Structure 1
Amino acid sequence: MSFLKEIFSQPASNEWARLLRTARKRSIVVSAAKLALLVGSVLNALNQGGRLLDGLPLSWFQVAVNFLVPYCVASYSAARNELRRPGDHPC
């Protein structure tokens, strides 16, 4: 039950600021971008493959969302993980 409580609890604004600063670290950005490229490509192939095969145009909004969502999830997860590690954090 504490797991659900943690998921739905709103972090303080200071914690959000630390999370965003951590998520902008180069190592996290690069890793999240690589993952988003891979996952976004697969999602686009699955979601819009039929449109392409039928000769219909792509939904560019859906293309953007298919890359943006995996990027956000990966960078958020990496930043939260880094902030939870014991030790000093520069952020």
Structure 2
Amino acid sequence: MKLVPLGDRVVLRQLVAEETTKSGIVLPGSAQEKPQQAEVIAVGPGGVVDGKEVTMQVTAGQKVIYSKYAGTEVKLDGTEYIIVKQNDILAVVE
């Protein structure tokens, strides 16, 4: 199956959480903080959303940072994705 976002939506796949700290301490799964970095999997077409012209500024394959409580989590074929609006993406990681 394939996710195709509509309007100004973006499909993200969250990057893996760090399992050890910089000092080498191993973190159990419950102590790991969910990363706010993700890879862009698919991008909607943009267009007119709520009466405003929206141009998509991210492309598939980019790594981005998104708002902590943004989006809707979806599980498809055993992989978890997050669908967010473009304005919930804070920055592109280069």
**TM-score between the two structures when normalised by the length of structure 1:** 0.25
Query: Higher strand proportion, which one?
Result: 2
Give 1 or 2 for the bigger CA radius of gyration: 1
Give the alignment's TM-score, normalised by structure 2: 0.24
